Amino acid sequence: MEVRGAGALVAGGASGLGAATARALAGAGAEVTIADLNAEKGEALAAEIGASFVAADVTDAEAVGAAVERAASGGGLRVSVCCAGIGWAERVAHKGGPHNLEYFSNVVKVNLIGTFNVLRLAAAAMSENEPDDEGERGVCVNTASIAAFDGQIGQVAYAASKGGIVGMTLPAARDMAGRGIRVMTIAPGLFDTPLLAALPEEARQALGAGIPFPSRLGRPEEYARMVLEIAANPMLNGETIRLDGALRMPPR
């Protein structure tokens, strides 16, 4: 997929992995649309990189539809990346009682259903594109986590939501193969995102030291580089790529 001149949507693109991806796509010549709940950060980043911004909750079909429409308004939406997500830590049952069902449902709603919402609307828009020389109309990249495979104590909601993203990757790719649309998922390990930035430096160093190689936190730019590699390589389809420096998470 040729990125230069293509319409690209980054959901959850105002910070962290999404912001790095928006910058990388813009730097590669894509016409980027950032969709995020944080209008202040999203608008500032859009102004910085020459992108568009649409305020959107990924679970809101109308808002995501507006973002997809904006991204498709130029040469057509060709690249869609969903980085939006939330977390919650709680055991299945504990001294305070059972896991809060509302919180579990909310994590699944944002992470899994929100990702699917972006995927379905982006794929529908891509279906209207003229195919390129290889018959490709677009590529959708979802974001899971190594928690989908190595969920730790207290991560039952988060791991379930990310495991769902992994599980839908292959059937979604098969669904869209006839339209020349690829579907891929990246499962990052420990990355230097705003969530980890809140930790003391000593704790951040300790987390990085536990990664076999390179023994440091992943850089958001490395996630963004993987998005560009997926876009460029048409044989990458229906698969989840662990981006984790060979890390396998222990129970706690």
Exposure on the CB side of residue 144, measured as CA atoms within 13 A: 28
Quote the CA–CA distance of 90 and 156 in Å, as a whole number. Answer: 7
Q: Which amino acid is at 130?
A: E
For this structure, is 158 an active site residue? yes
Quick count: other Cβ atoms within 10 Å of Cβ 181? 27
Closest CA to 80 of 145, 31, 151, 152: 31
User: Dihedral sign, CA of 169, 246, 22, 75?
Assistant: negative
CA distance 86 to 210: 23
Listed residue (112, 136, 149) closest to 240, CA to CA: 149
Q: Which of 88, 104, 158, 191 is catalytic?
A: 158
Structure tokens at 134: 């290889």
Catalytically active residues, by annotation: 158
